[in-house]
Structure 1
């Protein structure tokens, strides 16, 4: 039996942070960072059956062309992903009455829709990147037993080529779900390798008033190569989503609308149109 201090439920029986009960979520779940983007997606639904928000975690469940889908805002960063994915898993795989893990486990489909900046000149603004791999620079996943899901060859190459300081923790590399890659891929999608940082300023090489440990790290990341794999974009959630999903038996894919290109210094003239196109693309693929 899982103790009350570990599986925390609200007085109404809902899971602690998300305020959700098992019947509130679909098997197909779209993650967005911004709570305002939830309704941007569900505005395209045929109907909405459930809405709730607690803190930055806003959830809506409804149907799109007959397909039941949940959309949830995770907020920013790997720490929030740790909360959201563990609580979603608990909703489908732990019996809240007995506080025991169910004998038959459910696998969720997790689809992240986000905006990002490209690190490579050949991936232009207003394009889409599907994260085939993600590298976590954040340490969150290292709290779990992860050896069975890692890619040590890519990790070692990254550490060597960037002269990574292991005092910051050891990066981890996780692939996306092959099933979801095959389902969501098309000729308009770039397959990429996404870096997930644990912060927005120093961890992503931004300098305001504080010096950072390696001012050349971004340049080294741009130049990283492993068997034709390059780091395509930098954000704050994908590796954590992939890692926890793999450990818990869920499938995950991250789809990124590229609104900036750092390599050539360009920014989308209409970023909202680009994200709208990615939302429509994702919903159409989900409904098929």
Structure 2
């Protein structure tokens, strides 16, 4: 079965999929971490690959930026291709002063300024959370490999260039660790379908400390995050 956004056929995609926002990061992971790789998608240049890691079958596919984009790709992976474990691997901007470049954040929950959950017609505000099964496994893998991780709440924002540049401080006061743009939609889609999702983020810039990585470093330099995510396969 193919979809409007994915040319894969039934069986082409593993039950566990790593989801970087950048399709070139998906290509980099496939070429440098996986064996026996086949490409299953290049529609809209949103590259997807399946291979093996330590003998276990795993897929990796780009999602693009924002809730609408990851909402489409994750929905299709779940409902048309039978994916059971969706692991977002992305970058984030740190709100917490103790977070430095390349630190890893495990998103136990995602706050948001998006109205993505409006579609469910819920009588209140939905708290989008990670799969505890994946979260606990990821933390154990990181600890076993002496990879320092911080577990906490993240912000999924619809806005990258905001009109109120200090609005992040209000989220920081509530203990939100960092900002990104996709996890809330991913967690909602997974929860609604009864499958597992987790976001693993590497700090690419600090809003507090005014430091940042380069685009090439974000594409190729987040190896500790890859180790944790691939260990979940």
| Same-fold call, TM cutoff 0.5 | yes
1:180 aligns with 2:127: no
In the other structure, the counterpart of 1:165 is: none
In the other structure, the counterpart of 1:260 is: 205
In the other structure, the counterpart of 2:151 is: 191
Shift in alpha-carbon separation, 1:75–1:190, aligned structure 2, 3 A = same
Superposition TM-score, scaled by structure 1 size: 0.72
* Structure 1 residue runs of 4 or more that deviate by more than 6 Å after TM superposition: none
User: C-alpha root-mean-square deviation of aligned residues, in Å?
Assistant: 2.1
The structure showing larger relative contact order (alpha-carbon pairs under 8 Å, at least 6 residues apart) is 2
Report SS of the residue matched to 2:106: strand
Contact 1:259-1:274 at 8 Å conserved across structures: no
In the other structure, the counterpart of 1:66 is: 55
Higher Cα Rg, which structure? 1
Q: CA deviation at 1:222?
A: 1.8
Q: CA deviation at 1:76?
A: 0.7
Shift in alpha-carbon separation, 1:262–1:282, aligned structure 2, 3 A = same
In the other structure, the counterpart of 1:78 is: 67
Contact 1:146-1:247 at 8 Å conserved across structures: no
In the other structure, the counterpart of 1:161 is: none
Tell me whether 46-55 or 263-272 shows the greater mean CA deviation: 263-272
Structure 1 residues not aligned, in runs of 5+: 1-12, 93-105, 156-171, 203-211, 225-229
Q: CA deviation at 1:215?
A: 5.3
Q: CA deviation at 1:145?
A: 4.2
Separation of aligned partners in 2, 1:67 and 1:145:
39
Aligned positions, number: 224
Tell me whether 191-200 or 47-56 shows the greater mean CA deviation: 47-56
Select the residue among 21, 24, 37 that pairs with 1:33.
Answer: 21
Separation of aligned partners in 2, 1:135 and 1:268:
24
1:52 aligns with 2:54: no
Shift in alpha-carbon separation, 1:56–1:140, aligned structure 2, 3 A = farther
Separation of aligned partners in 1, 2:85 and 2:121:
22
Structure 2 residues not aligned, in runs of 5+: none
Task: Render the CA deviation track for 1:242-261: whole Å, top value 9, x for unaligned.
Answer: 11100111100000011222
Separation of aligned partners in 1, 2:18 and 2:28:
12
1:42 aligns with 2:30: yes
In the other structure, the counterpart of 2:179 is: 234
1:222 aligns with 2:222: no
Shift in alpha-carbon separation, 1:109–1:76, aligned structure 2, 3 A = same
Superposition TM-score, scaled by structure 2 size: 0.87
Separation of aligned partners in 2, 1:240 and 1:146:
15
Select the residue among 132, 137, 143 that pairs with 2:113.
Answer: 137
Contact 1:15-1:21 at 8 Å conserved across structures: no
Shift in alpha-carbon separation, 1:216–1:50, aligned structure 2, 3 A = closer
Report SS of the residue matched to 1:179: helix
Task: Render the CA deviation track for 1:105-128: whole Å, top value 9, x for unaligned.
Answer: x56100010011110011222210
